[in-house]
């Protein structure tokens, strides 16, 4: 049975940190092999699990032993393995599944750019284009379709899990049209339209994203009569006039891209329109280890950053928006309520 030192001394803790790639790789391997999906509510032997996921029992035991040390799966006294709260999150059918988030954070390209973090810190810009000679999203959509699929599924997971929180937060009782800018497959928009039967909406995102929009929003879907789906890039143009614009978790690119997106919102929005920017902040969250790691990954791949409360305020003010309330959406997200001045 695997045992873990609950409080390793600093020298051992540092050793653990520099082997962090092994932990990430183990989670990725378990997700790709489908170990969590194969393991049900009853503990299983390694031999039965190995047969289910088509691996060698001896090497699967080594993988499970490494993961159990981190609280992902647990080894029973009789040598069988069982689920933990974390390992269940790797199941594709779990309502709070993080399977695609785990895969996204460990995609093949990440292993090429992490070793160059010192270069990114030194230069202050992304290193992805040095490695792949292409802009990040161009590479994903043209050269790495499997990685693009993982990215879209990960963003869908994140959006779906927070959509209801956003719908519960926003008061849209007197609004006739809401636009979800860079809204992915439209889960937030769908939740808002379901809550407000008289509301119309528009969804804007890249062509490859909106073609897989939530079925409720597509032709023939339950909400489609009240929805306009627009294929486009908010950094180039926003051809949508609305009363409320929602921008959730997309202002994390390089400063120029963020500036262009906000300028396009300001250009499209009529005076008095509301602009609601929703972000998880690097200085106001209970998940600092995850958020700061994502902040560094954004530096590496797009030259972007997670925002502090002040950096978000600065960007919104520079765009000419008038900031009102800043409210928590849930434990991880904050909403910046802004208006477009007359």
- Check residue 5 and give its pLDDT: 63
* Regions in the chain scoring below 70 on pLDDT: 1-5
- Check residue 3 and give its pLDDT: 63
- Check residue 254 and give its pLDDT: 85
SS3 68: helix
Bridge partners, 334 (sequence order): 279, 328
- Check residue 152 and give its pLDDT: 84
The residues, any chain, with a CB within 8 Å of residue 185's CB and separated by 6 or more, are 152, 155, 156, 159, 205, 209, 210, 212, 213, 214
- Check residue 288 and give its pLDDT: 86
Which tokens belong to 231?
Answer: 């294929």
- The CA distances from residue 232 to 55, 240, 251, in Å, are 44, 11, 16
Global pTM value: 0.87
Bridge partners, 178 (sequence order): 201, 244
Q: CB neighbours (10 Å) of residue 76?
A: 12
Phi, psi of 187 (to 5 degrees): -70, -40
- Check residue 119 and give its pLDDT: 98
pLDDT digits (tens, 9 = 90+) for 306-340: 999 999 999 999 999 999 999 999 888 999 999 99
- Check residue 161 and give its pLDDT: 83
């Amino acid at each position: 049975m695997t045992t873990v030192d609950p409080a390793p001394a600093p020298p051992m803790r540092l050793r653990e940190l520099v082997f962090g790639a092994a932990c990430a790789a183990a989670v990725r391997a378990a997700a790709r092999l489908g170990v969590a999906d194969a393991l049900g509510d009853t503990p299983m032997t390694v031999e039965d699990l190995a047969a289910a996921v088509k691996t060698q029992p001896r090497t699967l035991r080594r993988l499970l032993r490494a993961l159990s040390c981190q609280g992902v799966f647990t080894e029973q006294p009789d040598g069988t393995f069982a689920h933990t709260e974390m390992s269940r999150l790797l199941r594709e059918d779990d309502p709070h599944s993080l399977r695609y988030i785990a895969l996204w954070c460990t995609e093949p390209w990440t292993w090429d750019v992490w070793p160059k973090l010192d270069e990114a810190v030194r230069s202050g810009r992304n290193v992805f284009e040095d490695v792949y000679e292409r802009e990040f999203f161009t590479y994903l959509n043209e050269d790495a379709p499997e990685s693009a699929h993982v990215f879209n599924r990960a963003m869908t997971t994140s959006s779906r899990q927070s959509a209801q929180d956003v719908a519960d937060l926003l008061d849209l009782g007197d609004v006739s049209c809401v636009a979800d800018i860079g809204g992915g497959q439209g889960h937030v928009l769908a939740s808002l339209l379901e809550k407000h039967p008289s509301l119309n909406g528009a969804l804007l995102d890249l062509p490859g994203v909106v073609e897989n929009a939530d079925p409720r929003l597509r032709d023939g879907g339950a909400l489609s009569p009240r929805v306009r789906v627009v294929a486009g890039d908010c950094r180039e143009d926003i051809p949508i006039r609305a009363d409320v614009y929602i921008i959730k978790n997309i202002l994390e690119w390089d400063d120029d891209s963020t500036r262009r997106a906000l300028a396009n919102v300001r250009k499209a929005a009529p005076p008095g329109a509301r602009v609601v920017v929703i972000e998880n902040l690097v200085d106001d969250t209970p998940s600092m280890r995850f958020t700061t790691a994502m902040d560094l990954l954004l530096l590496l791949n797009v030259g972007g950053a997670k925002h502090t409360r002040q950096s978000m305020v600065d960007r919104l003010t520079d765009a000419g928006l008038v900031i009102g309330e800043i409210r928590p959406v849930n434990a991880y997200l904050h909403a910046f309520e802004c208006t477009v001045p007359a």
